[in-house]
Amino acid sequence: MSGKLKLALSCWDYDRTRALADGTVQPDGIDLVYHSLPVEETFFRMLRYREFDAAEMSLSSYTVSLLRDAPFIAIPVFPSRMFRHSSIYVNAKSGIETPQDLIGKKIGTPEYQMTAPVWIRGILADHYGVDVTAVDYYCGGEEEPNRDEKIALDLPDKFRIHRIGPTETLAQMLADGEIDALHTARKPSTMDSRPGTIRRLFEDYETVERDYYAETSIFPIMHTVVIRRDVYDAHRWVAQAMYKAFVEAKRRAWENYFETAAMKYMLPWMVAHVENTMETFGRDWWQYGFAENKETLEVFLRYHHEQGLSDRQLSPEELFAPECLESFVI
């Protein structure tokens, strides 16, 4: 026997976690079993059945759970981040040309508590004057019927939430014009299968997202990593061990972007892209850690509260194991 603590981690196949998946990086004192699963499956199985010792987790779902029975504790690792101006889709005949045109419309969203729509609604409210209560939200499966909220919600009446029918999908409804727009994490399939029926609200989204970053310094966080509370309570050292391993795995992935003798990735101008990214974000463009992300987390937690998903506005410190909020100094 190795004497190490055996833990099961479910996380998607990211470049920044691959060293954990293949065992190149091993957390101190832990025999890690890495389950590489799609994010929706990981979230469902962890939220409903607590199947894993640790898992990648929707930042919004985790925040909701903290004010319920608090079954998890997070570490300040963020495997998924994404600007979400590109994730607002509109029916081409809806008459929606500007963000303000969304007011009074029917907006689809797979789950109201999804992290991507939380960011989208918050950005639309803060930067374009589209109040969260000014539209009707239609929730359900984007590509398959009968998707439910992974965590049951009890929202104030001012938020107008509707369930779509048992045979309906949001992708089809958007193409048919039964909803006017869609806030989502995945591009709807009907955008390709039915050309001309759907377009992005921000067609030049990269420019819009770059301007947003220049104004706010926010690179939106989508997912964090959580440890099951019973595991953490029994082995407090696990939080720091896992955090250090994720940081090292990311560092190794980061080094690969600077290899120029032979390209590791199938992007012809990757060197130029990396240099451009560093000009915008600095050398560490995918930051882990608490202090580095505190301001972004504060904005997210404000959005979460304003949208009725949390009864009070949590502080960023409440999200994470205290062992990960500071480091030792020699």
Give the bridge partners for 161, in sequence order. 137
User: Over the chain, what is the mean pLDDT?
Assistant: 97
Whole-model pTM: value is 0.97
Percent of the chain beyond pLDDT 90? 97
Percent of the chain beyond pLDDT 70? 99
Rounded Cα distance, 224 and 98, in Å: 32
Helix, strand, coil % in the chain, rounded to nearest 5 = 40, 20, 40
Question: Span 181-204, mean pLDDT?
Answer: 98
Whether the per-residue pLDDT at 329 is higher than 90: the answer is no
Domains in the chain, please, with CATH? 5-81+220-324 (3.40.190.10), 85-216 (3.40.190.10)
Question: Span 251-265, mean pLDDT?
Answer: 93
What pLDDT was estimated at residue 172? 98
- The per-residue pLDDT for range 13-49, each reduced to its tens digit, is 999 999 999 999 999 999 999 999 999 999 999 999 9
Candidates 84, 80, 81, 82; CA nearest to 202 is: 84
Whether the per-residue pLDDT at 3 is higher than 70: the answer is yes
Candidates 223, 216, 192, 215; CA nearest to 286 is: 223
- The per-residue pLDDT for range 301-325, each reduced to its tens digit, is 999 999 999 999 999 999 999 999 9
Query: Residue 83: pLDDT band by 50, 70, 90 thresholds?
Result: very high
Query: Residue 225: pLDDT band by 50, 70, 90 thresholds?
Result: very high
Buried b / exposed e along 14-28 (16+ C-beta atoms within 10 A): bbbbbbbbeeebebe
What pLDDT was estimated at residue 328? 75
Tokens 């720091």 -> residue:
240
Question: Span 65-90, mean pLDDT?
Answer: 98
Question: Span 132-154, mean pLDDT?
Answer: 96
CA distances from 269 to 103, 187, 208, 263, 306 (A): 40, 25, 22, 10, 41
